[in-house]
């Protein structure tokens, strides 16, 4: 995992979960580099704030843990 200080500088299309409400209390994801399999995650309330960068495998592990109830 790594990070970038200003997520608005990334050339990505951000999306949030279809289960998110309209209250903007969510995180957004964007594919930074499909070839290197890197995803960025940022706070939707702070589009020019920091973003965390994860590999596809780490995101998959997180989603799996959430779905199984482990987290």
Residue 23: the pLDDT is 64
pLDDT at 16: 87
pLDDT at position 15 is 92
What is the chain's Cα-based Rg?
Answer: 12
β-pairing verdict for 38-43 and 51-55: antiparallel
Domain that holds residue 52: 2-68
Q: What is the pLDDT at residue 25?
A: 73
H/E run at residue 27: strand 27-33
Number of independent structural domains in the chain: 1
pLDDT along the chain (71 residues), means of 10: 94 86 79 95 93 95 94 89
Which tokens sit at 69?
């109830």
CA distance 67 to 71: 8
Backbone φ, ψ for residue 5 (5° rounding): -70, -35
């Amino acid at each position: 995992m790594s990070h970038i200080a200003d997520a608005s500088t990334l050339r990505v299309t951000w999306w949030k979960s279809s289960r998110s409400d309209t209250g903007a209390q969510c995180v957004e994801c964007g594919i930074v580099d499909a070839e290197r399999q890197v995803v960025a995650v940022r706070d939707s309330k702070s589009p020019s704030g920091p973003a965390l960068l994860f590999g596809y495998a780490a995101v998959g592990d997180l989603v799996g843990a959430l779905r199984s109830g482990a987290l």
